[in-house]
Structure 1
Amino acid sequence: MSIVIQVGLVGFGLSGRYFHTPFLSVNPRFRLKKIASSRPEAVHAFDAAIEWVATAEELFADPTIDLVFICTPNETHVDYARQALEHKKHVVIEKPFALSEQEAHQLLELARKQERVVTAYQNRRWDSDFLTIKRLLAEGALGNLVEFESRYDRYSPVNLRAQSWKEQAGAGRGNLYNLGPHLLDQVLHLFGTPDTVEATIRIIRPDSRINDYFDIKLGYSDKAARLKSSLLVYHNQLRYSLHGTGGSFIKNGLDAQEERLRLDQLPNDKATWGTEPDDRWGMLYRDGRTELIPSEQGNYMPFYDNLYEAIVNGAEPAINSTDIWQLARIIDLAVLSSELKQTMPF
């Protein structure tokens, strides 16, 4: 009989409710036992069998919980993760993993001492568009890649009556810590450590209390990678543009999984889950012709399957310690680059 991992979730907002809970609930190797949240009614509405507690500390004290997901405001991630590790729990931390390279190192070292798995949630590695790009690059469809640009824009004017913590000033707040980790992790996964980091981080929306725009350039010896995000782009369709010695690939639109999760659809239909509408498929330009490229099928479930293997069988986590500290370091360097208006060596 296979081991079933007992799971506790801290926080039941967008991340906990619509990203983790659906995948955990349909994966038989996990049992979502307990959720710490300020919204017991939302927990019980999803599944009355899930236990609710008011505080993270109550959840950490439960000796039957094997694994904890931290899905709380950014500035609480490190403290909650530290407490969970001290209680001998395995831990998954929503992005950002930590607010600095130093904090990331401290958590990774604590996990090593406690002999527990700690990893970051980087679901965008399993987006349909990113999987398509990985396939095209592996096939050499663009020749030698020389330029990679990734954008993740939204149109979110400031609503002064809104109470979301994401719009409030504070440590770890802002678009760099919210959407930045997605884009940075993808580039690191594709190309590894950059030589240089250059960034512009700004506030561009009227009345904004947080940085809501970034433009990060990562320098490699044979290519340039540019990552941009703005919360004031009305026509926010462009996602990727890649250019190589043998062609270009342009991709619009976002992976469809989040849309379906927000509609309370569960990811249990393997045949259709993560299938992207054909009006979002990318265009490949080469050899004097244009070709519509069907997108790969996206699916975030491999993250959880790998997590199980890491905890139960000692497999390498898909998002490993090197991935985590490199991303934290790049964010630190991006902030410094923007402040000093300098290109920083990695």
Structure 2
Amino acid sequence: MTAESGKKINVAVIGYGLSAKVFHIPFFNHDPQFNLHTIIQRNPDKGPDSAPRDYPALKHHTSLDPMLADPDVDLVAILTPPDTHLDFATRCLEAGKHVLVEKPFVPSVADADRLIALARRVDRRICVYQNRRWDADFLALRSLLAEGKLGRAVELDTHFDRFRPQKPAAASWKASLPMERGGGILYDLGSHLIDQAYCLFGLPRAVYGRLVGQRDGRLFDDDAAAAAAEGEEPDGVHVVLSYADGTVVTVRAGVMSVEDPQPRFWLRGTRGSFRTWGLDPQEDQLRGGMKPSDPGFGVDDAWKPRLLQVGDDGATIREVPLEAPKPPATYIQFFDELGRALRSGKEEDIPVKATEAREVLRILEAVRESARTGREVRLQ
């Protein structure tokens, strides 16, 4: 099924937390291809956040069934904890809806395979929300590699580090949900970093991983199951991805990094090196109330990457100025591509395909296996 030309794509949103309010609803309201139609919020009368109060003109439900029976809904954005994604996406696909699923896609490769097969059987589309493919620093790195300005990639260090020595008092699913159900730092932040590595280099030949408790000084190895039973989950990730051409990608995420600014990307190639610090500004801007249509959205005033290149003589090294793109590419592009893909009806046009998210899950599962056994895991 394709979205009719000229007709807006009616969107239903499941969940009304941070993901919905910050990362999705502002973009659905911004993009003329979409019409925000329905919000499902289980307890709209409890707590400070109430979708019916914020959007009184929309349809509102406290369960999925009325939305699933509504023929006007074309696309459902599933913005709930990852252990609900398989059930919700299955029900939406079987009801004839396209689905946009927040990352992590689902807790396992097996779950991903089930949804991919179902979507093809009912001729509906799945898109996974990996928004950090549209971070400015990542796009700059991808462009430099594609243009050959860095030569062949030798090493990439990619970080998502913070200094948060105290455990959060009010833990969300990201901290309280175990890895088996798609929670924890590996699936929350690690899925971003590994997805970006996958975009650059594809599926690695081998994976080596360590999961640690940085705050408490603990290694999560063969007794990880016992630790999980005690309510303990890793807060640090260290992964090495090895590729057939010799490229090595080191992925790090943690909470005990005393750095300012925090490191982000460091790629060394045969003809150049690219290094950045800090995170793309879009998340902080959105959290601060900025809208995608506001002037300055996506503009990074602190953009100061370091680009070194080999000179024409093949021996000298020179630093090359690199300015931030104007206008910057932003998460707006993701939603634009999603809308156009639903109109074309072609799976290959989906901006983040479920098959790609499944391969990222393969890597995440290999990290867990490696952490448990202490051995490198071969994927190819």
Q: TM-score range by the shorter chain?
A: over 0.9
The answer to whether the 8 A contact 2:175-2:183 is kept is: yes
Q: Name the structure 1 match of 2:193.
A: 183
Q: Name the structure 2 match of 1:173.
A: 183
- Paired with 1:221 and 1:243, the residues of 2 have a C-alpha distance of 17
- Paired with 2:65 and 2:187, the residues of 1 have a C-alpha distance of 25
SS of the equivalent of 2:232 reads: coil
> Is 1:233 aligned with 2:254?
no
C-alpha offsets along residues 56-111 of structure 1, whole Å, 9 cap, x if unaligned? 33332322211001111121111111111111110011111111111100011011
The answer to whether the 8 A contact 1:167-1:209 is kept is: no
* C-alpha displacement of 1:48: 2.8
- Paired with 1:272 and 1:160, the residues of 2 have a C-alpha distance of 32
* C-alpha displacement of 1:285: 1.9
Q: Name the structure 1 match of 2:227.
A: none
> Is 1:195 aligned with 2:205?
yes
Once structures 1 and 2 are overlaid, which stretch shifts more, 167-176 or 96-105? 167-176
* C-alpha displacement of 1:190: 1.1
Matches within 5 A, 1:124-203: 124-159=132-167, 161-170=169-178, 171-203=181-213
C-alpha offsets along residues 215-269 of structure 1, whole Å, 9 cap, x if unaligned? 1111112211111100232426100001011221110011111111112221124
SS of the equivalent of 2:50 reads: helix
Q: Name the structure 2 match of 1:22.
A: 26
The answer to whether the 8 A contact 1:43-1:50 is kept is: no
TM-score normalised by length of structure 1: 0.93
Q: Name the structure 2 match of 1:74.
A: 82
SS of the equivalent of 2:35 reads: strand
- Paired with 2:287 and 2:216, the residues of 1 have a C-alpha distance of 29
* C-alpha displacement of 1:43: 1.8
- Paired with 2:31 and 2:304, the residues of 1 have a C-alpha distance of 29
Larger Rg: 2
Matches within 5 A, 1:302-317: 302-315=333-346, 316=348, 317=350
Once structures 1 and 2 are overlaid, which stretch shifts more, 55-64 or 251-260? 55-64
- Paired with 1:164 and 1:324, the residues of 2 have a C-alpha distance of 23
SS of the equivalent of 2:299 reads: coil
SS of the equivalent of 1:199 reads: strand
The answer to whether the 8 A contact 1:273-1:298 is kept is: no
Q: Name the structure 1 match of 2:7.
A: 3
Q: Which amino acid aligns with 1:84?
A: C
2:367 to 334, 338, 341: 334
Q: Which amino acid aligns with 1:121?
A: Y
TM-score normalised by length of structure 2: 0.85
Shift in alpha-carbon separation, 1:218–1:159, aligned structure 2, 3 A: closer
2:243 to 203, 210, 220: 220
Q: Which structure 1 segments of 5+ residues have no match?
A: none
1:60 to 44, 60, 68: 68
SS of the equivalent of 2:268 reads: strand
Q: How many residues align?
A: 344
Once structures 1 and 2 are overlaid, which stretch shifts more, 29-38 or 15-24? 29-38
Q: Which structure 2 segments of 5+ residues have no match?
A: 218-230, 312-316
The answer to whether the 8 A contact 1:275-1:298 is kept is: no
* C-alpha displacement of 1:147: 0.5
Once structures 1 and 2 are overlaid, which stretch shifts more, 113-122 or 164-173? 164-173
1:289 to 293, 318, 342: 318
C-alpha offsets along residues 29-60 of structure 1, whole Å, 9 cap, x if unaligned? 10111111233653245433232221233332
Once structures 1 and 2 are overlaid, which stretch shifts more, 148-157 or 39-48? 39-48
